[in-house]
């Protein structure tokens, strides 16, 4: 087996892309999208009809049209994966709990109108305090959530408290920050701070018997993927999936599930404690804020693209 096939034996492989042709070729179980990936795919001629269809349905409401675009891509993706697709709400809502819930409910309704059961959809929200609380309410309503832009154990703990289905700790963006701020350091292999962060979260969840699953995300190179082989899920861009598929180097399992050390769940984080701990983590607070800004900027670009159709 090639390394991609080996990885699939120990980890659920997810495609991190809005490129439906690439997903069809690589055959992952699940797929994840975000505003940036939808914008990239929407700019390609073969997917322009998915934008035109949304714009025609909501010619005078760009917000509704953008939500519909994400659903249109999700529906097409679900024709080619057996599992679930993650669909992200507008990043502008990252600090508005009630508006995040309302957006998620609309997205689920749009999927249901297209004949897609909500069990096949993960709603993606930024792992702000408000996003996590929105996810807690959605999970109570039977809508499963994927908490994204996650850079710290503090965020992971709050997600576990909220009972969310899945978290997506960002490997590559953590590495980016450390390379920028500590350029003299060796961050290869096991020294990669993004890899170390995901391992720490994974081990914490397993030690405490937490049901929320960990999906490593935002990879910069194959070595990061190799270091996290065995994680519950890994969402990987098509170019890195292709590199794994064509490589001949064997893959070794690095993360192993373990028996929970205690059946007693840790004490839940209060909002003030969450905000203080996140504030004290310069990297996590920097990257969370930056990620929200970037996704919001790409959301605006998507709106501009729709307005020209």
Q: Which region, left, alpha or beta, applies to residue 94 given φ > 0 means left and ψ of -120 to 50 means alpha?
A: alpha
Residue labelled with tokens 């679930």 = 84
Which positions ≥6 away from 115 have C-beta within 8 Å? none
Catalytic residue check, 140: no
Locate the DSSP E strands across 163-260: 166-169, 213-216, 233-236
Among candidate residues 8, 53, 118, 124, the one labeled active-site is 124
Structure-block tokens of residue 298? 């790409």
Phi-psi region of 44 (alpha: psi -120 to 50; beta: other; left: phi over 0): beta
d(CA 28, CA 120) in angstroms, rounded, equals 14
DSSP type of residue 266? P
Residue 16: closest CA among 165, 168, 139, 147: 168
Tokens of residue 43, six digits: 């700019």
Contact of 111 with 140, CB cutoff 8 Å: no
**E strand or H helix that includes residue 264:** none
Distance from C-alpha of 188 to C-alpha of 90, rounded to nearest angstrom: 34
Spatial separation of the C-alpha atoms in residues 219 and 7, rounded to whole Å = 15
The conformation of residue 119, written as its DSSP 8-state character, comes to G
Distance, CA of 37 to chain centre: 11
Query: Residue holding tokens 């689920």?
Result: 108
Active site residues: 124
């Amino acid at each position: 087996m090639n390394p991609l096939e080996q990885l699939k034996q120990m980890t659920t492989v997810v495609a991190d892309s809005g490129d439906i042709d690439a997903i069809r070729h690589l055959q992952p179980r699940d797929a994840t999208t975000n505003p940036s990936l939808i914008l990239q795919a929407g700019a390609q001629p073969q997917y322009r009809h998915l934008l035109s269809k949304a714009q025609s349905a909501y010619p005078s409401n760009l917000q509704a049209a953008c939500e519909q675009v994400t659903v249109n891509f999700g529906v097409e993706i679900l024709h080619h994966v057996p599992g679930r697709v993650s669909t992200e709400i507008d990043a502008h809502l990252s600090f508005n709990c009630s508006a995040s819930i309302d957006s998620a409910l609309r997205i689920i309704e749009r999927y249901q109108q297209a004949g897609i059961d909500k069990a096949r959809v993960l709603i993606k929200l930024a792992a702000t305090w408000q996003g996590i609380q929105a996810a807690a309410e959605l999970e109570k309503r039977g809508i499963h959530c994927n908490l994204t832009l996650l850079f710290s154990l503090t965020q992971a703990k709050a997600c576990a408290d909220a009972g969310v289905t899945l978290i997506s700790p960002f490997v590559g963006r953590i590495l980016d920050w450390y390379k920028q701020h500590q350029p003299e350091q060796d961050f290869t292999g096991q020294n990669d701070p993004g890899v170390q962060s995901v391992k720490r979260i994974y081990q914490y969840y397993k030690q405490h018997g937490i049901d929320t699953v960990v999906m490593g995300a935002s990879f910069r190179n194959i070595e990061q993927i190799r270091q996290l082989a065995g994680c519950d899920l890994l969402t990987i861009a098509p170019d890195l999936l292709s590199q794994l598929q064509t490589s001949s180097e064997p893959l070794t399992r690095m993360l192993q599930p373990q028996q929970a050390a205690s059946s007693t769940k840790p004490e839940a984080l209060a909002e003030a404690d969450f905000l203080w701990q996140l504030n004290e983590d310069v990297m996590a607070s920097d990257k969370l804020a930056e990620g929200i800004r970037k996704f919001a900027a790409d959301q605006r670009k998507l709106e501009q693209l729709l307005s020209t159709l």
